[in-house]
């Protein structure tokens, strides 16, 4: 299979439905189809309560993972979060350990099908079947995330339909006597059983390792993960209630097919068949989701030089070919050589440890006060939510006993050894923890801020960011002759002081100080001077076109010594409120994105007036010009006030040009023949206007 060495980003192919299906599919398997019978031995009918208690530690873990994933949507999930917050040592532990733990879960799911297959074919060998399914899933993953995501949607929704049939039909046959002595097992047994069944929920956050491939991750990830967690809690709550209510206690204890047994009581033999099919769908689903998630860990670690470079190579399908192949190979070895059922249960304690560290990561990222740390979703009740996310997993690990703790310690030691022998000499990166240290008088790692700024640029603006409005109310200056940056700053300051409550001296000082410390980006013949102020209420932008160029002195930010100069032809002065630094950075990133487009400088130089300069900064698909003239489909607008026009929601008439004079209209402005409207807004609304008025 052909592949490339290019360090490119994975395609964003996963929609809300795909992400929900992957997260849900990684959750509903052994926890529902195998564990209730084992949990009943210690907790009795209170296993229902154990399942509900087990969901509690997932809440802070889920909030923390979503915050980190929307701030840093990159392949690798837990590895990437720990690496960028606590440094590559903890990142290596999280990456290798979670990769191996996920592999064990996949192997566990494939072998775990044996109990249900044995109901009908007791003589069949499960290992060959597990290996065959593993290879098929590996091939599907190689063909692209979209195809494996499509398979996941089909598997999960088939599973959910069958579970709905089971719960609704079983509700009519529940025996109240089975709930007698509900709390007889005692608090300790109920809590320790919660530690056992906690593994039922951990899959819901594994989708974070695919965040780089999610469309609009800031909106999609929170919705999908919360929906998945809610679905899991409801299914485990109602499902275990039905199981306990249908199956006599003596038959439920240590029953490895509790759902099929319960279905037999409710629907007879057809129910056993239907729920056995549901179990097989669940096991294949969790195996597919686990393989999809696990393969992104070698990819992410290879990008950061903590694993060999070949793991980051992408196939012609834009999938991490060798990372998937390595994941599949290890899954096959585990199935053939070990007992994955026993080992996977031990690996759950390691995943609990990782959830605790993820909560630590959120605290570190927030306290680092890196301005470019800009999550689309922020965990509520900070830092108490994170402190609970640290304490509760540690408590459950302790409740699970000595052997799981030793197993987790072994994974930590192995990962630490790999970092010390292989990774330590290949990375110079440090985590956000050093930004916390910097506040205490130590040093920080500046590359992290640059990396997060790059992520900001990829994510783009948010719906609430008024970029179009800021551009449309901006003032401009058109320079005919060459001049120095200092002279331009003085002219801009004279204009800016009329729209922001700062003196010319203050504006000049802040812009020049920013230039000396290297805070003024200069690229592609464009400079972006910018600063924030607590005296400014809203962001303001000032445009400067320099036909003959402006010479900008470049300084060494360490010693403030001049190191040369650059000539630029466009300058964008941005001033924003001090209380919203991340919006300030997103606006800068959006301007930088437009500057990088090949069409920008040509459109900039060809603009005929101030409105043309503004339009050259906006995307073509974010604004629309309407010429009002008789005999055209826009002729019906003549004589109408703007507030009477059928403008789609999300669109705004930003500028009106009349007799070569442009101004911002209000709702009472009446349109005249020859008027030209500039409308800004979302793509759908503008496309609707374009179609209605046949814009030419």
SS (H, E, C) 405-442: HHHHHHHHHHHHHHHHHHHHHHCCCCCCHHHHHHHCCC
Contacts for 286 with CB less than 8 Å, ≥ 6 apart: 25, 26, 27, 28, 29, 30, 105, 106, 109, 203
> Does residue 446 belong to any structural domain of this protein?
no
> Does residue 447 belong to any structural domain of this protein?
no
Q: Are residues 611 and 633 in the same domain?
A: no
Distances (CA, A) of 657 to 329, 641, 646: 66, 15, 20
Q: Are residues 612 and 626 in the same domain?
A: no
Mark which of 570, 589, 617 sits at the end of a domain.
617
Share of the chain above pLDDT 70, in %: 89
- 510-519, 556-565, 626-635: lowest mean pLDDT where? 556-565
Query: What is the pLDDT, as a whole number, of residue 180?
Result: 86
Average pLDDT over residues 288-314: 82
Query: Which pLDDT tens digit goes with each residue over 483-504?
Result: 999 999 999 999 999 999 999 9
Average confidence score pLDDT of the chain: 81
Q: Are residues 587 and 612 in the same domain?
A: yes
Q: Output the six-digit token pair for 185.
A: 């097992």
Query: Which pLDDT tens digit goes with each residue over 109-124?
Result: 787 777 677 777 777 7
The one-character DSSP state at 573 is E
> Does residue 123 belong to any structural domain of this protein?
yes
Average pLDDT over residues 672-695: 78
Mark which of 578, 594, 617 sits at the end of a domain.
617
Q: Are residues 182 and 199 in the same domain?
A: yes
Query: What is the pLDDT, as a whole number, of residue 546?
Result: 92
Share of the chain above pLDDT 90, in %: 14
In angstroms and rounded to an integer, the radius of gyration of the C-alpha atoms of the chain is 30
Query: Which pLDDT tens digit goes with each residue over 155-209?
Result: 788 888 888 989 998 888 889 999 988 888 888 888 888 877 877 787 777 777 7
Q: Is-contact 26 160, C-beta < 8 A? A: no
Query: What is the pLDDT, as a whole number, of residue 557?
Result: 62
Query: What is the pLDDT, as a whole number, of residue 99?
Result: 86
Query: What is the pLDDT, as a whole number, of residue 458?
Result: 66
Q: Are residues 254 and 385 in the same domain?
A: yes
- Rounded to two decimals, what is the model's pTM? 0.70
Q: Output the six-digit token pair for 240.
A: 């275990």
Domain that holds residue 162: 9-425
Assign residue 636 the CATH number of its domain. Answer: 3.30.70.1450
Q: Output the six-digit token pair for 202.
A: 């951990």
What CA–CA distance (Å, rounded) separates 571 from 568?
7
Contacts for 112 with CB less than 8 Å, ≥ 6 apart: 29, 30, 33, 34, 283, 341
> Does residue 676 belong to any structural domain of this protein?
yes
Is residue 519 over pLDDT 60? yes
Domain count, the chain: 3
Q: Output the six-digit token pair for 367.
A: 């306290």
Is residue 622 over pLDDT 70? no
Q: Are residues 346 and 382 in the same domain?
A: yes
Q: Are residues 166 and 312 in the same domain?
A: yes
Is residue 376 over pLDDT 80? yes
What CA–CA distance (Å, rounded) separates 306 from 95?
9
> Does residue 183 belong to any structural domain of this protein?
yes
Closest listed residue to residue 190, CA positions, set 304, 41, 298: 41
Query: What is the pLDDT, as a whole number, of residue 405?
Result: 81
Query: Which pLDDT tens digit goes with each residue over 250-264?
Result: 999 888 788 888 988
Query: Which pLDDT tens digit goes with each residue over 125-134?
Result: 878 888 888 8
The one-character DSSP state at 575 is E
Mark which of 582, 602, 617 sits at the end of a domain.
617
Q: Are residues 640 and 562 in the same domain?
A: no
> Does residue 3 belong to any structural domain of this protein?
no
Average pLDDT over residues 585-605: 84
Assign residue 540 the CATH number of its domain. Answer: 3.40.930.10
Q: Are residues 392 and 491 in the same domain?
A: no
> Does residue 449 belong to any structural domain of this protein?
no
Query: What is the pLDDT, as a whole number, of residue 548?
Result: 92
Number of H helices, E strands in the chain: 29, 13
In this structure, the number of other CB atoms found within 10 A of the CB of residue 205 comes to 28
Assign residue 73 the CATH number of its domain. Answer: 1.20.1740.10
Query: What is the pLDDT, as a whole number, of residue 447?
Result: 59
Average pLDDT over residues 297-313: 84
Residue listed under structure tokens 């249908």: 246
Residue listed under structure tokens 């109920």: 190
Q: Do the strands 540-555 and 483-484 form a parallel or antiparallel pair, or are they unpaired?
A: parallel
Query: What is the pLDDT, as a whole number, of residue 260?
Result: 87
Closest listed residue to residue 385, CA positions, set 696, 58, 34, 97: 58
Q: Are residues 46 and 128 in the same domain?
A: yes
Q: Output the six-digit token pair for 604.
A: 């900039």
Q: Are residues 555 and 635 in the same domain?
A: no
Q: What is the DSSP string of 360-405?
A: HHHHHHHHHT-TT---SS--SSTTHHHHHHHHHHHHHHHHH-HHHH
Query: What is the pLDDT, as a whole number, of residue 451?
Result: 63
In this structure, the number of other CB atoms found within 10 A of the CB of residue 60 comes to 26
Query: What is the pLDDT, as a whole number, of residue 245?
Result: 93
> Does residue 455 belong to any structural domain of this protein?
no
Q: Are residues 556 and 637 in the same domain?
A: no
């Amino acid at each position: 299979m052909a592949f490339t060495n290019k360090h490119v980003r994975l395609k964003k192919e996963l929609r809300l439905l795909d992400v929900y299906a992957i997260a849900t599919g990684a959750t509903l398997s052994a926890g529902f189809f195998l564990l209730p019978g084992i949990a009943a031995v210690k907790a009795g009918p209170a296993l229902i309560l154990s399942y509900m208690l087990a969901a509690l530690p997932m809440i802070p873990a889920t909030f923390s993972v979503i915050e980190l994933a929307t701030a840093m949507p990159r392949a690798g999930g837990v590895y990437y979060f720990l690496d960028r917050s606590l440094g590559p040592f903890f990142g290596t532990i999280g990456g290798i350990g979670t990769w191996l733990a996920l592999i064990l879960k996949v192997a566990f799911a494939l072998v775990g099908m044996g109990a249900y297959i044995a109901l009908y074919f007791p003589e069949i060998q499960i290992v060959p079947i597990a290996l065959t399914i593993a290879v098929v899933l590996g091939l599907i993953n190689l063909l692209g995330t979209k195809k494996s995501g499509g398979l996941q949607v089909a598997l999960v929704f088939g599973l959910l339909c069958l579970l709905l049939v089971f719960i609704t039909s079983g509700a009519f046959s529940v025996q109240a006597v089975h709930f007698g002595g509900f709390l007889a097992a005692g608090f300790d047994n109920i809590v320790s059983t919660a530690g056992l069944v906690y593994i039922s929920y951990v899959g819901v956050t594994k989708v974070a390792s695919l965040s780089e491939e999610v469309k609009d991750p800031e909106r999609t990830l929170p919705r999908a993960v919360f929906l998945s967690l809610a679905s899991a809690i409801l299914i485990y709550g109602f499902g275990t209630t039905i199981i306990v209510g249908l199956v006599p206690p003596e038959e439920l204890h240590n029953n490895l097919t509790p759902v099929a047994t319960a279905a037999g009581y409710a629907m007879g033999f057809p129910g056993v068949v239907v729920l056995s099919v549901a179990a097989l769908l669940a096991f294949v689903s969790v195996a597919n989701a686990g393989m999809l998630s696990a393969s992104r860990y070698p990819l992410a670690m290879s990008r950061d030089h903590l694993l060999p470079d070949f793991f980051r190579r992408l196939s012609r399908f834009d999938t991490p070919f060798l990372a998937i192949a390595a994941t599949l190979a290890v899954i096959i070895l585990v199935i053939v050589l070990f007992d994955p059922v026993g080992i996977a249960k031990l690996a759950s304690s390691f995943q609990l440890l990782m959830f605790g560290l993820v909560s630590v990561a959120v605290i570190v990222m927030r306290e680092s006060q890196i301005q470019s740390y800009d999550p689309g979703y922020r965990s509520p009740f900070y830092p108490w939510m994170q402190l609970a996310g640290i304490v509760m997993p540690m408590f459950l690990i302790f409740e699970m006993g000595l052997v799981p703790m030793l197993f987790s310690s072994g994974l930590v030691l192995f990962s630490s050894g790999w970092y010390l022998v292989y990774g330590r000499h290949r990375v110079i990166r440090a985590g956000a923890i050093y930004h916390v240290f910097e506040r205490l008088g130590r040093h920080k790692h500046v590359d992290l801020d640059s990396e997060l700024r790059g992520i900001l640029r990829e994510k783009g603006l948010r719906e609430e960011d008024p970029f179009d409005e800021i551009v449309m109310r901006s003032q401009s200056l058109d320079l005919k002759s060459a001049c120095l940056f200092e002279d331009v700053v003085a002219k801009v300051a004279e204009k800016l002081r009329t729209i922001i409550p700062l003196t010319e001296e203050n504006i000049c000082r802040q812009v020049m100080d920013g230039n000396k410390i290297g805070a003024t980006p200069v690229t592609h013949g464009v400079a972006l001077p910018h600063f924030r102020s607590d005296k400014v209420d809203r962001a303001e932008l000032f445009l400067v076109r320099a036909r003959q160029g402006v010479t900008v002195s470049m300084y060494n930010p360490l010693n403030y010594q001049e190191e040369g100069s650059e000539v630029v032809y466009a300058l964008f002065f941005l001033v924003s409120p001090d209380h919203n630094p991340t919006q300030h950075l997103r606006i800068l990133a959006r301007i930088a994105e437009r500057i990088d487009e090949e069409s920008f400088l040509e459109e900039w130089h060809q603009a005929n007036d101030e409105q043309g300069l503004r339009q050259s900064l906006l995307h073509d698909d974010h604004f629309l010009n309407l010429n009002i003239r008789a005999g055209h489909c826009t002729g019906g607008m003549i004589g109408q006030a703007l507030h009477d026009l059928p403008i789609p929601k999300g669109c705004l008439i930003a500028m009106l040009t009349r007799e070569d004079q442009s101004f911002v209209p209000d709702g009472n402005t009446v349109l005249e023949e020859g008027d030209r409207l500039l409308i800004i807004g979302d793509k759908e609304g503008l496309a609707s206007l374009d179609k209605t008025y046949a814009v030419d």
